[in-house]
Amino acid sequence: MANTNKALIVSAALASAMWMPLRAAAASIASAPYGATQQGQAVVQYTLSNARGVTMNCITYGGIVTRLDVPDRRGRRADIVLGFGSLGDYEKYNGKIHFGGLVGRYANRIADGRFDLDGHTYKLPVNEPPNTLHGGPHGFDEKVWTVVRTFQGTQGAGVQLRYVSKDGENGFPGTLTVDVTYTLTDDNEVRIDYRAKTDKPTVVNLTNHSYFNLAGEGSGSVEGQLVMIAGSGYTPTRPDSIPTGEIASVENTPLDLRALTPIGARLRSSNQQMRFAHGYDHNWKLNKNGQHNGEATFAARAYDPSSGRVLDVYTTQPGLQFYTGNGLDGSVIGASGTAYRQTDGFALETQHFPDSPNHPAFPSTELRPGDEFHEVTVWKIGVR
């Protein structure tokens, strides 16, 4: 592909990108009210801060990451995730846009809103006809989560959130107890731990749906920012974004992002897969080479040349959905007062494959009583 050698050189140079310590201090956490839902449920915002100028805000509504403030190469801070300025807007729009939310019970799509498990067919509500998307209507990112604990110390500062999804909610079997812990460390890592247990056999696929813009929220298109995905295969889809069941090579396709590549370089390709999705909205099969902290492998890197900000993603999950905000059409106004349009942000959703319950050859998403679902994703923030 064009520019591959240049991208490889840039990729190698960025491998050492990191923040230099400013001072020795432990990360900290603070909380404040964030209003109440239309049903009168109180919502709380948690602010995680570290010694190197990184601050992350999340709220108990949907477990949404509302802000992630990060310094650039000159030390100037900016929020690098898209979001809204009020709880009311999250309630109004997040069922379709999913800004920063914890998505479940099944992230991504299930074909025709149905799957078989142990000889029984389960029917789910369809919210992206003819399919079910992100667990169906009023999914996990529209629920108020319970705070189990908060903590701060030498390992970082964080908050553990819990949501109990009742048996039959949106058609899924089993009462599923989900715990998600956000941790911000002084190594500039945001660690997301997903855990779940069930009392009946079920399927589960969890992710965070943050949209990133490394130049800063509201700064315009990310087409000039670069992305690299550690995947040599992907799951081709039908026109409705449901996988065909094949795992195809990215070689000689616009989905070959194994070296840092400008997001806009192939966005308007005539490739059929790109036309189906109106841009990037595809699942990569991660190569899973190398270890990070002995548990999560390198999955992706994003880099903004203008600010120098670098985002590395590590995960234990087998797949990653790269999405260029194709559904953003200017109809919603972000936190900075800017109308969001396609490519104003991108998502790197670590997860299992779409429609896995209907594709036995895909990594299993089944969870059974006595077992624990546990996946980890790390956002490593740096600057070059």
pLDDT surpassing 50 at residue 206: yes
The pLDDT of 105-121, averaged and rounded, is: 98
- Tell me which residue has tokens 């403030």: 69
- The secondary structure of 353-369 as a DSSP string is -TTGGG-TTSPP-EE-T
Question: Could you give the percent of the chain with pLDDT greater than 70?
Answer: 92
Q: How many CB atoms lie within 10 A of CB 123?
A: 11
Residues 6+ apart with CB under 8 A from 225: 213, 214, 215, 262, 263, 302, 303, 304, 305, 346
- Letter string b/e over residues 328-346, b meaning 16 or more CB atoms within 10 A of that residue's CB: beeebebbeebebebbbbb
CA dihedral angle for residue 294, residue 296, residue 302, residue 306, rounded to 10 degrees: -40
Round to whole Å and give the CA distance between 217 and 14: 23
Query: Catalytic residues, which ones?
Result: 209, 349
**How would residue 288 be classed by pLDDT, with cut points 50, 70 and 90?**
confident
Work out the end-to-end distance of the chain between its first and last CA atoms, rounded to an integer number of angstroms. 25
**How would residue 8 be classed by pLDDT, with cut points 50, 70 and 90?**
very low
- E strand or H helix that includes residue 7: helix 4-14
pLDDT surpassing 70 at residue 43: yes
Mean pLDDT of the chain: 93
Q: How many CB atoms lie within 10 A of CB 153?
A: 10
Round to whole Å and give the CA distance between 224 and 80: 15
Round to whole Å and give the CA distance between 59 and 161: 10
Q: What's the pLDDT score for residue 25?
A: 63
Annotation: binding site: 108-109, 209-211, 281
Round to whole Å and give the CA distance between 164 and 196: 9
pLDDT surpassing 80 at residue 2: no
pLDDT in tens, 233-259: 999 999 999 999 999 999 999 999 999
How many CA atoms lie less than 13 Å away from 185 in the CB half-sphere? 15
Which of helix, strand or coil describes residue 315?
strand
pLDDT surpassing 50 at residue 23: no
Cα–Cα nearest to 207, from 23, 354, 72, 60: 354
Q: How many helices (H) and strands (E) does the chain have?
A: 3, 30
Structure tokens at 335: 């936190």
pLDDT surpassing 80 at residue 7: no
Beta strand ranges found along 168-265 (DSSP E) = 176-184, 189-198, 202-203, 207-208, 211-212, 226-229, 233-234, 248-249, 261-262
- The secondary structure of 15-39 as a DSSP string is TT--PPP------EEEEEEEEE-TT
pLDDT surpassing 80 at residue 145: yes
Round to whole Å and give the CA distance between 372 and 68: 29
pLDDT in tens, 146-185: 999 999 998 899 999 999 999 999 999 999 999 999 999 9
Which of helix, strand or coil describes residue 262?
strand
CA dihedral angle for residue 258, residue 313, residue 227, residue 351, rounded to 10 degrees: 80
Q: What's the pLDDT score for residue 289?
A: 59
Q: How many CB atoms lie within 10 A of CB 141?
A: 27
The pLDDT of 2-25, averaged and rounded, is: 43
What domains lie within the chain, and their CATH numbers?
Answer: 4-383 (2.70.98.10)
Round to whole Å and give the CA distance between 192 and 187: 15
Q: What's the pLDDT score for residue 3?
A: 44
